[in-house]
Each structure stands twice: as structure tokens, then as C-alpha cells.
């Protein structure tokens, strides 16, 4: 294969994780390359709901709650830098978010779950208000008669995730980095110094490599002594036509975009690599949305889609540097919108420094070996929807 370039850092995967890491490394300019697979790919980055969500996360791993809060806190900086550098407004709004409960029993379960979460040893507590129906209706006018209440967290928010992806790419390219679409990495060969990446368009040498290939990480990680046991988890989303603004803040499953369209999300199913929509799932999501906001019954459905989440067995991310091939890093998670700022401002600097900060220790893939040997972590580190 012909040599197609030599770089200080190669980031494999230009979805939300790879793009955020590359953005955080953009001061490398032309010494940075971002590689992607082309239009054949499964891309969670183009299929997601756009929430920046804190409440409910971290059951079984308080460090994940800390990581999530840190990212939410750094999001305004990210949105401002992207606007300044690219002119793209990613429509960040962090007015807080609501988890809506449709019955007293649902609300009880929600309160119990959040109590258990926040009373874990070492949990970084944050404020979550329990709202009864009347309090909830003040924040979300128009809720239906079945709504019993909900929980409100001031740290939650949302953005336009497609503009986010676009802006991360634009800022990175503008800084002089190379973006090579249609460069699927088939093999990573560690050398005494650095790595050689084989692609159908030639090989690429890099001193350091970041595996941010989403579902592709499962195959790539073992090539550099890492583990990324990720698999697909399907989520479906419905888009309604633009309606007059009625939602001042996002809920966990219904949000109004900056343009006025309404997104209803998002199911969660094990369906392998099937990314087709199932009408029974769409119908169930729509039915629940109508119980929350009956007025949506008058809005037309514009489209619906299904996407594949990048999911580890316990739902938590993997961040790690290879012990046997230093300079190879993996980053994989299933809340890539929420965590974009952490990837840009904490993970990327660790890569640049060649470091494995203490911060990343809880996220090492060795935890899955421990689970296999009979000391499992609490499964499903996040609430079911995200």
C-alpha cells in the first residue's frame, strides 16, 4: 500500500465522539487526521435525540454522574467556541429538563430510583425537584389529564445534534486538520513507535491513534491490546411538523426544536444491526406522547427513523489507553451529545499529554472481565432511555 500520510494523531471515526475528540485536538493542525468509513456506516451521531441530559445517570458508577455533570457544565463553552470558529449555532439551550410520569405509581418509582441514585457513596449530588401535577403544569402547560407529575433537573438541556456534528467537523478542518471520509480502517498495526493504519486508499502512519469508531470499535480495539465490547441497541424517533412554540424546556422523550418541529423519542430495543422502523414501536411512542401532550394529536408526522446506539454491557463508556501499545486510546459511549464537551475538553487533552488520568480508571474495559468472573457492576448504568 502506498503511504498516504504521517500524523501525530489519527482519530478513527468521525461521529460525535471522534469529531469532539478531534475538535479538542485541533491545535495540532495538519498533524491531525480524522478518518471515517463513508456513507455505508451505522451512525448514531446522525440519528439521535439531541438531549444533554444529567438527571438519572450514574447508577452503579458515581464517576459517570460526575463526568456527565462536568460535560453539561462545559457545554456553553463548547457552543460558544463552535459559534465563534464556524458561525454555526448549535442551538444549545440548558433551561433544565423534565422527566414526565403518567401515574402516581410511575412517579413513586421515579422518586425511589433517584433517591437510590443520589445516596450512593461518592455520588456527586445535584438538585432534582419532584413536581406534582400542578407544579409540572406550570413548567409544561398543556399536559394531559393522566400526567401525575415528574422530576425537574436544572442541569438538563438540548441542542441540534446535526449542527453539532457539522460544527465540530468544520472547526477541526478550519484549524488545518485533515478529514478523510471513505477511509475505513481495516487494520491497525502497532510499530515500535506509532501505528500504521490500513485503509483501501492507502496506509496512514500516526504516532498516536484514537479509536472512536462507534460500533466499529469492537473489531478495532483488540488490534492494539484494548477492549471495546460494544453492540447495537436500537432507538426510534418520530418527527412532527412545526407547531407554535409550546415547550419551553425538553422532556426526556419529547422536545421542540429551535425550528418548531417536535421530536418524540426514543425507544430501546435489542434488534441486532436492524435499523428499520417498526410501526408498532412508533405507534406506542406516539400514543404515550399524546397522553403527555394531547394537543400533539393535531400535528402531522413528518418522518420517523431508527438508529443504533453504541452500547457496552453495563451502559457506561470505555475510555482507556493501551497498556501494551501506549499511544493507542479508545473512547466509546452512548451519550455522545451530552458528553461532547467532556470529550473535547478532558479526553482530548489526555490524549495530547499521552496520559491515562486517574479519572479514566473507572471506565477501563477490565471491568467487564471482573463482571465475567462473578463480581458484576450494577447493570445498565443509566436510566432506560439514555
Ligand X SMILES: Cc1cc2nc3c(=O)[nH]c(=O)nc-3n(C[C@H](O)[C@H](O)[C@H](O)COP(=O)(O)OP(=O)(O)OC[C@H]3O[C@@H](n4cnc5c(N)ncnc54)[C@H](O)[C@@H]3O)c2cc1C
Q: Which residues bind ligand X (CB under 6 A)?
A: 12-18, 35-37, 41-45, 47-51, 53, 184-185, 212-214, 216, 220, 235, 237, 265-266, 307-310, 332-338, 386
Nearer to ligand X (CB atom), residue 19 or residue 364:
19
With respect to ligand X, which residue has the nearer C-beta, 148 or 254? 254
State the nearest-atom distance from the C-beta of 44 to ligand X, in Å: 3
In a 13 Å sphere around the CA of 265, the CA atoms on its Cβ side amount to: 24
Task: Return the number of the residue (139 or 180) whose C-beta is nearest ligand X.
Answer: 180
Q: What is d(CA 158, CA 53) in angstroms, rounded to the nearest whole number?
A: 8
Instruction: Output the smallest distance, CB 133 to ligand X, in A.
Output: 26
- Give the C-alpha separation, 205 to 26, whole Å: 18
Asked whether the beta carbons of 207 and 213 are under 8 A apart, the reply is no
Q: How far is the CB of 267 from ligand X (least distance, A)?
A: 8
Residue among 149 and 216 whose Cβ is closer to ligand X = 216
Q: In angstroms, give the least distance from the CB of 104 to ligand X.
A: 27
Single out the residue of 208, 199, 205, 278 nearest to residue 236, CA to CA: 278
Nearer to ligand X, 50 or 227 (CB): 50
Shortest spacing between CB 247 and ligand X, in angstroms:
15
Environment class of 286 (CB within 10 Å of its CB; exposed 0-12, middle 13-18, buried 19+): middle
Interatomic CA distance for residues 145 and 328, integer angstroms:
54
Which of 148/383 has CB closer to ligand X?
A: 383
How many helices and strands (H and E) does the chain possess?
10, 17
Radius of gyration of the chain (CA): 21
d(CA 292, CA 295): 9
φ and ψ at 168, to 5 degrees?
A: -60, -45
- Cβ 197 to ligand X, closest distance in Å? 8
**Residue whose beta carbon is closest to ligand X:** 15
Name the residue nearer to ligand X (CB basis): 107 or 263. Answer: 263
Say if CB 117 and CB 109 are below 8 A apart.
no
Report the C-alpha gap between 124 and 380 in whole angstroms: 19
| Distance in Å, CB of 168 to ligand X, minimum | 10
Amino acid at each position: 500500500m502506498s503511504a498516504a500520510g504521517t500524523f501525530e494523531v489519527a482519530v478513527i471515526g468521525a461521529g460525535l465522539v471522534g469529531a469532539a475528540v478531534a475538535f479538542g485536538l485541533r491545535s495540532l493542525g495538519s498533524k491531525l487526521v480524522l478518518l471515517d468509513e463513508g456513507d455505508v456506516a451505522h451512525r448514531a451521531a446522525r440519528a439521535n435525540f439531541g438531549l444533554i441530559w444529567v438527571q438519572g445517570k450514574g447508577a452503579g458508577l458515581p464517576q459517570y454522574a460526575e463526568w456527565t455533570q462536568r460535560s453539561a457544565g462545559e457545554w456553553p463553552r463548547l457552543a460558544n467556541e463552535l459559534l465563534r470558529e464556524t458561525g454555526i449555532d448549535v442551538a444549545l439551550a440548558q433551561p433544565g429538563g423534565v422527566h414526565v410520569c403518567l401515574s402516581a405509581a410511575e412517579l413513586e418509582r421515579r422518586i425511589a430510583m433517584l433517591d437510590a441514585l443520589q445516596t450512593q457513596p461518592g455520588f456527586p449530588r445535584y438538585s432534582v425537584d419532584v413536581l406534582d401535577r400542578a407544579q409540572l403544569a406550570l413548567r409544561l402547560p398543556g399536559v394531559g389529564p393522566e400526567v401525575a407529575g415528574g422530576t425537574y433537573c436544572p442541569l438538563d438541556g438540548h441542542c441540534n445534534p446535526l449542527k453539532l456534528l457539522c460544527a465540530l467537523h468544520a472547526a477541526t478542518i478550519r484549524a488545518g486538520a485533515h478529514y478523510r471520509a471513505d477511509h475505513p480502517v481495516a487494520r491497525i498495526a502497532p510499530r515500535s513507535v506509532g501505528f500504521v493504519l490500513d485503509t483501501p486508499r492507502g496506509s496512514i502512519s500516526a504516532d498516536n491513534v484514537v479509536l472512536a469508531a462507534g460500533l466499529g470499535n469492537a473489531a478495532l480495539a483488540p488490534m492494539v491490546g484494548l477492549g471495546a465490547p460494544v453492540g447495537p441497541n436500537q432507538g426510534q424517533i418520530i418527527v412532527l411538523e412545526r407547531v407554535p412554540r409550546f415547550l419551553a424546556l425538553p422532556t426526556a422523550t419529547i422536545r421542540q426544536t429551535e425550528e418548531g418541529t417536535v421530536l418524540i423519542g426514543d425507544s430501546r430495543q435489542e434488534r441486532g444491526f436492524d435499523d428499520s422502523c417498526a410501526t408498532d414501536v412508533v405507534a406506542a411512542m406516539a400514543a404515550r406522547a399524546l397522553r403527555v401532550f394531547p394537543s400533539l394529536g393535531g400535528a402531522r408526522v413528518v418522518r420517523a427513523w431508527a438508529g443504533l446506539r453504541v452500547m457496552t454491557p453495563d451502559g457506561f463508556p470505555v475510555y482507556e489507553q493501551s497498556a501494551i501499545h501506549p499511544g493507542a486510546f479508545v473512547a466509546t459511549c452512548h451519550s455522545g451529545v451530552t458528553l461532547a464537551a467532556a470529550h473535547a475538553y478532558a479526553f482530548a487533552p489526555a490524549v495530547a499529554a499521552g496520559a491515562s488520568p486517574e479519572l479514566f480508571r473507572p471506565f477501563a474495559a477490565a471491568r467487564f472481565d471482573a463482571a465475567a468472573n462473578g463480581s458484576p457492576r450494577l447493570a445498565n448504568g443509566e436510566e432506560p432511555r439514555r
